[in-house]
């Protein structure tokens, strides 16, 4: 079956540090890949997405590249801010209704 494995947290960084959150996946067919972000007390928001191999998704300074050869979709940001503190979820969409399979989430805390 499908699965998503995320780097375990929590991750604590200082402001302006470089961020990498690793994500690898197992899936049949041609999944789409996503990063969602959840701020405290809120629902999930789509951060970025990629629908085919070698696509790069980007938003708000975050980037991730769909690497089919390594089955990975690592999230990166060059300079994090305190406002980036949240839980980040990697996910893939597959199946007839493109159901999402999520990783376990990575808690990021950015200190001033």
- What is the three-class DSSP state of 64? strand
The minimum distance between CB 59 and other proteins, in angstroms, equals 12
93 contributes a contact to other proteins by CB under 8 A = yes
Query: How many chain residues touch other proteins (CB under 8 A)?
Result: 27
Asked if residue 34 lies in contact with residue 93, where contact means CB atoms within 8 angstroms, the answer is yes
How many separate helices (H) and strands (E) can be counted in the chain? 0, 12
40 contributes a contact to other proteins by CB under 8 A = no
43 contributes a contact to other proteins by CB under 8 A = yes
Going from the C-alpha of 94 to that of each of 2, 25, 62, the distances in angstroms are 8, 12, 23
Which residues lie near other proteins (CB under 8 A)?
4, 6, 29-30, 32, 34, 36, 42-46, 49, 51, 89, 91, 93, 96-105
């Amino acid at each position: 079956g499908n699965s998503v494995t995320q780097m375990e947290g929590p991750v604590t960084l200082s402001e302006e540090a470089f961020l990498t959150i690793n994500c690898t996946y197992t899936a049949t067919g041609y999944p789409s890949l996503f990063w969602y972000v959840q701020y405290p007390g809120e629902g999930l928001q789509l951060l970025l997405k990629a629908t085919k191999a070698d696509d790069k998704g980007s938003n708000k300074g975050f980037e991730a590249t769909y690497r089919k050869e390594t089955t990975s979709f690592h999230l990166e940001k060059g300079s994090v801010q305190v406002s980036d503190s949240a839980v980040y979820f990697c996910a893939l969409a597959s199946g007839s209704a493109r159901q999402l399979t999520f990783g376990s989430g990575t808690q990021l805390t950015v200190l001033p």
